[in-house]
Every structure is written in structure tokens, then in C-alpha cells.
Structure 1
Amino acid sequence: MQIATIFTTANTALSQQLAAAVNNKTKPPGSLGMLESIARQIGLIQQTTRPAIHAPAILVFAADHGIVAENISAYPQSVTWQMVENFLAQGAAINVFARQAQCALHIVDAGVNHDFGPRDGLIDRKIAAGTRNFAVEPAMSNDECARAMAHGAELIATLDGNVVGFGEMGIGNTTAAAAIMHKITGIPVARCVGAGTGLSTQGILQKQSVIERAIAHHASISAPLDILANFGGFEIAMIAGAMLAAAERRMVLLIDGFIVTSALLVAARLQPALLDYCIFSHCSNEHGHQQMLEHLAAHPLLQLDLRLGEGTGCALALPLLQASVNFLCEMATFESAQVSDKSDD
């Protein structure tokens, strides 16, 4: 896959115009807090002082992981395909929250260890029936990783809107994400590893030990795409490819939790300007996510102690993006409302 070139959204003149437009609304300066910075950011992404949210969508990528052979999950691998069935039956949290936010939801089989057959509502982009066990061999080949990223990029081309959120499902994927986090950021493994779907303290220590052994086994790996191929999952690779393609189209990228942010760590290492397009929906309760966000100098919109994944944080944060562009485009100015601002005193 050819990596897209992402250009910064920085534009001094437009930035000044957006700041003036925000500050001229009938409110004290800065009183809408992060909604003001989000409005300015979306304006820079869309290159206008009148930004808009159009046809938002969330892509949920599902895949299995060979690393589950190392006893690193509280749930069996079969839960991955069972949750995909739940998504298709409209029964999961992301289904509820996406409907509430009036957001399109697309479910993608990136590499689930199950034969779904042709199914309405399921996008089949299966690379293989799960990755290999990265404790003993690379999770995927470079070709598989490139194909997964290309599939993610191709799916972005099918969307009509200008906002895309990313979600995932895959038993074992917090182990993959923690390994990627360590390799990209250099943060010690112990600070990257969390409970995932609900591991005990002993389970967390087992997970940490597995990752440390795998890191030692692949000690020479350092390039971002090699890290992704050796430790990642098909869903993580597809998300990384989709992120790069979405930013190339100047879409707003709504980032979910720990696993999605691990994909961003890779993608942003490839194209640092990608971060200009990212809005971070929440800080996950999964151990390590806050440190990921600090590494990226990111400011999440919500802190709800979520650790479900599925893109749920994206769906919950979407109304805040709508509020940000709405106040900028619809709220009265001091002049139009004939309200005195402090400079009139």
C-alpha cells in the first residue's frame, strides 16, 4: 500500500478568522471551553469559517488474534464472532449509541476466525482467520498488513460524509495494542498493560510476561509498519489505513479508545500531520490509554470510565462535535443580537 501524504491543516489567516468568529458570539471569551477549540479545529480541517457535520459514520472492524493461545484473555476467542452476530442483530452498545446519534454504522470482518457466509450488513474484508501468535512469530506478513491497510483505505472511499469514527472488536486485541504502544512510545510494558475484558491481577501479570517475551523475540523490529505487522491485528491495520485515507480526504477523524489509539500511534508515526484531523472522543479506563493520549498531546472530550471499545466513545462524543459547529454557525454575534461586549464598556 502506498502511504497517503497528509498535509497539515495549519492556516494562519483562516485560524485568525475562526478565532474572531468564535470570540464574536454572545458569550464571554472561552466560556464554551473545548467546544470552541473543536469548532476551530473542524473549521481548519474543512477550510471554512462555517464548518458542518454531514453524514457521520462509524466503522467497526472485527478480527481475531493468535496471541490468545498464550492465555491472555478472560474470554474465549469465540466471543469475537458472537459479538459480530450481536452487532448484526442490532443488540450491542454501539448499535444503541449510533442510532441515538443518528450515525451510520458499518461492521467489517477484517479477520474473524469464523465463516459468516454472505450476510446483509457485514462487509467482508477478511484477510485470514485471525493473526498468528506474535509471541513466537510475526502476527502477519508484510503483505497481509499492507492488504489490510489498503482495505481500510478503500472503505473510506465508500463513505459520503465528512466525519468518521473508528471502533473494533477482537478478543486479544488489548494485548496487541499494548505491544504496539510500548514499541512506538517506549513506555515500559508494565504501564501499557491493563485488564482488557476483565483479567485478574494474575492475568494481567501473565499478559505482561507474554508481551515482554514477544518484545524480546522481535527485538530488532523498530519501523512503524514492521511493528504493526509483527504485533498488530488485521482490525488494527485496517483502522490505520482507514485513518490515513480519511485524513487525505480532509475528513474529521473521531478516535475511540485504547485499541483504536494504538492504530493511530502507527499511522501518526507514518504521517505526523494526521493528528491535525483527529478529535479524541474519550479517555478509556483501560490502563495505558491516558498515557497514549499524553504521548500524543491529545485532549479527550469525555471521561466516562469506558473500556468497551466498539466505537462507543465515538458515538457518545458525536453530539459534542455537532454542538461545536452549530454554535459557530447559528449562535448570534454581539452585533446581530445588539448585545454589548466587554469592549463596549
Structure 2
Amino acid sequence: MIKRTGTAAAALAVAALLTMSACAEDEAGASLELTAALPESVPSGTVLRLGDPAGQAVLQRSGLDKELSDAGVEVEWANISGGPQSIQAFRADKLDCSAVADIPSLFAAWTGTSTKIIYQNVTVDPLEFPIYQLGVAPGASVAALSDLRGKKIAYSAGQAQGALVLRVLKEAGLTQKDVTLVELTSTGDSYITALGSKAVDVAPIAAYQVKLYKAKYPGATAIGTGIRDDASTVYCLTTAVEDADKAAALKVYVAARTRAVLWQNEHPDEYAKAYYQDVQGLNEADARAVVAISGRKGIPATWDNAIERLQATADLLAAEQGHDKLDVTTLVDRRFEKVQAEAAGSQAVTGDAA
């Protein structure tokens, strides 16, 4: 069953974005059919509104942001990422694209916001370097997935963590009736706080937070999920990719962001400083530790496997949460698949890891 708690988080970055004075609107570019080839040149002054803090940090640190400016792309960066914030900004037409996992594109569709995925990257060794582990509250007896029966588990229906919980239950041979799902939006350290206060017994927390969690709460533990959880995308309002000028700019952005991911693999210490120190506020040692446990990121040579995984997730959420069945091929813009593959060249990831 699902236990509901008051968890409306104050999304300060979104609030600031939605309330700030808008600049004079540029005229929209010509309409572009979703089946049409992406334009080759960017009209001067084309603006992209991007919620991609990690991508911004790497592009600027590597100097690859020059590819955007040289092509005539102007970027308005927003400190927004994740599903709830990005969908809110999309609905207010204050954002063109945002970096998220795979779940937000599903919930955007289910809640009437039309979006397209234009970028995907993967972890080269996804099971060895998981994004999440299951944090276990001090005193809770959970050493394996089978021990989840009867436990209170933090759950957010519209976030990647929520989908992971459902997949973990399925892997354990359990259903929602076998546990108590405590509805709690994952923002900041909210899941860690809930674990530490024993409001929940189990919660998916970022792998890099596990050490901090154990140090902060004596008796705290964590276990692995054994489930692939590395989906990483950029999704955009459909109206953005239907705008010929923005579509041309997004082609440049996707190529530059692809090269930025490959750059961060080769410059882990610089990446750690640019994003985890300078943006996330970690100290040098912790920033480098986060990068070390995150694994190398790769660009899939084809999106086939990612789309198959997304469809399986959509089917699971439709069954478990009562959503309509969804054909996820309608949520991806595969014109950008080739842009990524060409930018990655021989470094594109093939096989099961993709």
C-alpha cells in the first residue's frame, strides 16, 4: 500500500526561473516536421534554454562550449534538472530542454506535456557502477532484497527512484501489497533524513551518498539492487524540436555534449572540480571519490537497447501505477541518434552495455 505524507518540496530554482522578468521574445523559427532532416546551420541569435547543470560545467571546463558560440547558439542556462522541476518549467514555457533520467519523459506524456528525448548516455559498466543503492535505516533488518517484505520504503511515483523501487520489488518477487510505500519526493537529502529519523526503513539513495549516510547515522547500512539504473537523457519540449532554428541549435548542442562526456572520462579530476566541487559544493576528496564510483560514461552507438529498456519501464509503471499503455518510440527523436554516434566516432558504446 502507499502511505502519503506531506512532501511538497520548495523548488527554488524553478520558482526563480518562473518569476524572473522575461526578456523580449525572439521570433520563433520556421516550423520543422519531426520527420524532416535537421537543419545544417543555426540562424544568428538562436537561443536555447537548458536545464543541464552537469553538462554546462563540463562544456565550460573543457572549452567545448565554444562549439556552441562559434555556431551562433546562445544558451540561457538554468539550474534545473530532474523530472518535477523540468516538467513544471516546461509547462510554463520557460525551458526548452533538461537533463534527466528516463522516467520524466514518461510522466510528461502521462500528464499531457509533449516531449522528445534527444540525447542519451550510459555507464560503460552499469552493474559495477550503479547510480543508486538501497539505504537501510539504523536498526532495520535488511541484508538482501528478500528482506524488504513488510518494510516501509520511500517512494516517489514520478521520479527515477520510484521506478527503481518497483523494479526492485519485482526482482525480489514482491508486490506493493507486501510493503508500505511511503510517498516522499526525493529532493536534496530528503531520503537520507527520512532514513536517519526512521520514518522509512529503506530508500534508494545515490551511491556516492552512502558513505556520508553511514557516517552520519551510526548503524546505517546499504545494499545493492543488482538492477541497471544508469539511464541518462536530455529531453526537450516537442515544440523546441519542431522549431527549425532551435532544432539546428540542438544538433550542435548534442554533438558538443557528446564530446564533453568523452572529455570527462579522460579528465576525471577536472570534471570532479568543475561539477562536484564548484557546483555541488563537495570538498576535493569527496568530489574525486564520487567520480571514481560513478564509472566511465559512454555514448550508445544505437538507441535500440535504451528504447527497449524504456519500454519495459513504461509497461511496469502502467501496470503498477494505473497509467495508460505507452509506445515509447513516440518519445524519442532518433534524428539525434546519428548526431551522437558521429560525434562519438569509434568511442561509441556497442553491445549489452549500450
Give yes or no for TM over 0.5.
no
Q: Where is the strand percentage greater, Structure 1 or Structure 2?
A: 2
Q: Where is the helix percentage greater, Structure 1 or Structure 2?
A: 1
Give the shorter-chain TM-score range: under 0.3
